[in-house]
Structure 1
């Protein structure tokens, strides 16, 4: 059947609601899409929140997750919905599946968090900007076990979706610590 006539189904589930098989299928999809750029720490970053699964003809072709993170900005601590593991299988791109995943992720963020945050590549930046996400222009840092450290390699790749908090895109933003990529 032509992909354009297939009906895409979007499901939402907490990590703990996913069966072992569904978790494995999500991880396999992400490894397939990102290859060697997707490791064990990246998979763990996707866990503990809510997953959006997109299926066509019953087959998983897209995934995205939003997990809670703590950010510090402008002297305030913010509860952020952080987008992780957004991917659409290569043979299903160009049909609006990424946008369909983001509609659900953004609705979750708007309903539960002060702001949405994600880190992306230059190649995908236009996709997020077109959806209303804004490039963070200020410096970034992370609260490590030994103190706050700057993360200059992440500057220019962090995007935010303001929800309840006023954000100064030129100010400093600090995320909580985690193993692997902190942003």
Structure 2
């Protein structure tokens, strides 16, 4: 197993294409163009078995409003491992690299977990954000109650009160 961490600008276009195909397969075709764009512009953790890309995870900077403060958040996107290689440590190794980056470069980390991934993130120390979620839209703040209980944080000093309201910045596609 080899994990490569690189900024989008330093990842070869062919590798990005391979990562996108991997995510399309892992999410059964439910990886939209917007979802893929959310993975770009930050750091990628790329897992290899030999020379073959078998896993992808990314962290990108977002702005979150917590307790009246705009905070730098390392937001995790596009975590997937090839179906034949799951439960062999690839996802954990990629997340360990992203968690290291989050601790060194951001106020805290966040992600929106699928039902299938909740146990994985909890076991790694991610905790559910218990407060209400919302988003800054072009028309103002809008609640996102459908995401309440699905947003997880990698604790930092800024995330100490996970019962407070939290608002994410606007983006096309899934806002969380």
Decide: shared fold, TM above 0.5.
yes
Q: Does 1:84 pair with 2:77?
A: yes
Contact 1:46 1:67 in 2 (8 A): yes
The whole-number CA distance in structure 2 between the counterparts of 1:59 and 1:136 is 36
Following superposition of structure 1 onto structure 2, how do residues 31-110 of structure 1 map, counting pairs within 5 Å?
31-110=24-103
SS at match of 1:32: helix
Q: Does 1:162 pair with 2:149?
A: no
Number of residue pairs aligned between Structure 1 and Structure 2: 176
The whole-number CA distance in structure 2 between the counterparts of 1:170 and 1:12 is 32
Structure 1: 5+ residue stretches without partners: 1-7
Structure 2: 5+ residue stretches without partners: none
Following superposition of structure 1 onto structure 2, how do residues 97-176 of structure 1 map, counting pairs within 5 Å?
97-176=90-169
Structure 1 stretches of at least 4 aligned residues deviating more than 2 Å after TM superposition: none
Larger Rg: 1
TM-score normalised to structure 2 length? 0.97
